[in-house]
Amino acid sequence: MADREFDVVVVGSGAGALTAACRAADLGLSVVVLEKCATWGGTSASSGGGLWVPCNHLMRKAGIEDSPEDALTYLMALTGEDVDPALVRAYVEQSPRMLAWLEAHTEAAFEVMTHYADYYQALPGSRPGGRSIDPLPYHARELGESFATLGFSHIQTRVMGMMGYTNLEGAVLLSKSPGWLRVILKLLAEYVSDIPGRLRGRRSRRLVMGNALMGRLRRSLDDRGVAVWLNSPVSALQREGGRVSGVVIGEGGGGAGGRVRARRGVILASGGFEHSQALREQYLPGPTCSHWSAAWPGNTGDLLQAAQDIGAATHLLDEAWWGPTIKLQGEDRARMLFTERSMPGCILVNRRGERFVNESVAYTTAVQAMYQGDNLPCHAIFDSRYRREYPFGPLLPGGMHLDWLQPRIARGDWLRRAETLEALATDIGVSADGLRQTVERFNQFSSAGIDEDFHRGEDSYDLLYGDQRLAPNPCLAPLVEAPFYAVEVHPGDIGTKGGLLTNPHAQVLSVAGEPIAGLYATGNCTASATGRYYPGAGATLGPAMTFGFVAAEHIAENNHQK
């Protein structure tokens, strides 16, 4: 068949991809978005939807001070020698501009999370809040037919599998802050009262988190007349005269296989390789398993390999956006323990029954601790008071008296229960003496309000998911009430963060260190601009959208080959 031709071809349909497509279209370029799956949005659609953007204009409106110098100091302390300082500077400089442009020229709209702290509060330049922003809710009616193919939000972000909540609403609910019951009643009322939505099915039309972000970006793209081709897997990159000139879509993709030419440039925004077991075993530390990932199942590293085939350089392939996860039978991906391990009365122990980390630290740090020494397998341990007060995975708090609503899977053997700690330890293969001694010591810390071993509850990030009703430390509560519970916790992720090496213009570099003409990349198919660490909530989507924006501008300004 004849080649189809556009100025810019964007591969992938997540937040970085759609931001790039919107900016390119506004710069007068013809654009097409290619998505290999039957739905669009990728991991972005099922994510929390937040962006980490230092010095953003919403901070200033909220009266929160920030400076490029502080942001650079913080990021450079995290990235060290793992990232080109020019790439870090580009992110600090360009991300506020990207955000301001989105709010001024697209449907995208956000609110600042004033109390959502950077993850490493001890580092110079960190902020106790304001750099993380949350997309405002959006209604599915604004999407028209595009809503039907929007990827679902992650099941763990839906109350009873139906009602979503914003990050700010979630912080109130999960920490049982004042007003948490009103939030639940509000969500329930909005869901039930949407009669047209209920006639169509159980899926909520109040879009929040990643669904809200992607819904707003897709509406902006639809308004610009940019096509999104689903079922269009890219199998190879094409080069002419040393320049990337287009892509090859596999047979059956988009209704027909064939080539799609890119007159000005190709932007890869195709996600990581977290669901390729072969690539995980090749690059990531072990043990590793694709079933432990909470990311979109379609991310298998196809374009990483395609770019390597034409000489692209890679970096940080041993890294991921780590996070402790649990995997339930029958679900298409794992569930990340964003909050459960942080709630007072839950501890993480190794096979010796010993704690090895502050359970309230950032999720990346928690998994890095799991991989150190002999800390795997790892189990979360909690008691009946915790079970009654807080959610865990698919389990609603027992105190809500809604067990009858739980799906059968929520009561499977992934959750172990015993009347004594010794019996629980024997059941899960953990040292009984070690677990008993660990719990006794932790209970003493809880009474005193000071975690002498790991300092849990001593900074503003730890306190985010503490229980404000508890004193003297909202992050600590004793494990004393039988029966006791255990859940095996895996070293999982929400995506890999190593991949193609790029420069500050988002150009993909060759193994010789030179830009590959016509080829750009952003998001999890690239080596992250934040290196081996996770600066704060939204540090996945913030860089992905920023460098998608940067790529579109660089293509418009510099690539005039026809």
346 within domain boundaries: yes
**Rounded to an integer, what distance in angstroms lies between the CA atom of residue 268 and that of residue 352?**
45
Considering the domain architecture, whether residues 39 and 105 belong to the same structural domain is answered as yes
- Domain identity same for 183 and 308: no
- Quickly count: other Cβ atoms within 10 Å of residue 148's Cβ: 11
State residue 436's pLDDT score: 98
282 and 360, same domain (yes or no): no
CATH of the domain at 10: 3.50.50.60
- What pLDDT is attached to residue 409? 56
pTM score: 0.92
227-229 vs 31-34, strand pairing mode: parallel
The verdict on residue 305 lying in a domain is yes
pLDDT tens digits for the chain (562 residues)? Answer: 457 999 999 999 999 999 999 999 999 999 999 999 999 999 999 999 999 999 999 999 999 999 999 999 999 999 999 999 999 999 999 999 999 999 999 999 999 999 889 999 999 999 999 999 999 999 999 999 999 999 988 877 777 667 777 877 877 776 667 777 788 788 888 888 877 877 788 788 889 999 999 999 999 999 999 999 999 999 999 999 989 999 999 865 444 578 999 999 999 999 999 999 999 999 999 999 999 999 999 999 999 999 999 999 999 999 999 999 999 988 889 999 988 999 999 999 999 999 999 999 999 999 999 999 899 999 999 999 999 998 898 887 775 445 555 555 555 689 999 999 999 999 999 999 999 999 999 999 999 999 999 999 998 888 888 888 899 999 999 999 999 999 999 999 999 999 999 999 999 999 999 999 999 999 999 999 999 999 999 999 999 999 999 999 999 998 654 4
Same domain, yes or no: 129 and 41: yes
In three state form, how does the secondary structure of 213-251 look?
A: HHHHHHHHHHHCCCEEECCCCEEEEEEECCEEEEEEECC
Query: Buried b vs exposed e over 35-66: b needs ≥16 C-beta within 10 Å?
Result: bbbebbbbbbbbbbbbbbbbbbbbbeeeebeb
* Residue 229 maps to a domain: no
User: Cα–Cα distance between 282 and 301 in angstroms, integer?
Assistant: 12
CB 430 within 8 A of CB 352: yes
Q: Are residues 139 and 175 in the same domain?
A: yes
Which backbone phi and psi does 401 adopt, to 5 degrees?
Answer: 55, 40
Residue 73: which of 51, 94, 88 has the closest Cα?
88
Domain co-membership, 24 together with 150: yes
Distance set, CA 493 to CA 130, 319, 391, 503 (Å): 25, 10, 20, 25
CB atoms within 10 A of CB 282: 13
For position 191, what pLDDT does the model report?
81
Same domain? 479 vs 365: yes
Question: How many domains is the chain partitioned into structurally?
Answer: 3
pLDDT confidence of residue 401: 46
- What pLDDT does residue 255 have? 47
What span, in angstroms and rounded, lies between the C-alpha atoms of 421 and 18? 50
Residue 238, in any domain of the structure = no
- Which domain, by its residues, includes 521? 264-323+495-558
Whether residues 211 and 84 fall in one domain: yes
The verdict on 391 and 288 lying in the same domain is: no
pLDDT at 37: 95
Tell me: do 499 and 388 sit in the same domain.
Answer: no
Q: How far apart are CA 57 and CA 280, in angstroms?
A: 39
Residues 38 and 172 in one domain: yes
- AA letter at 309: D
d(CA 93, CA 372): 35
pLDDT tens track for 248-301: 998 654 445 789 999 999 999 999 999 999 999 999 999 999 999 999 999 999
pLDDT for position 268: 98
pLDDT digits (tens, 9 = 90+) for 46-94: 999 999 999 999 999 999 999 999 999 999 999 999 999 999 999 999 9
Q: Assess if residue 210 is contained within a domain.
A: yes
**Residue 253 counted as domain residue:** no
Two tokens, residue 271: 């996600």
Domain co-membership, 276 together with 411:
no
Measured between alpha carbons, how far is 317 from 532 in angstroms, rounded to an integer?
10
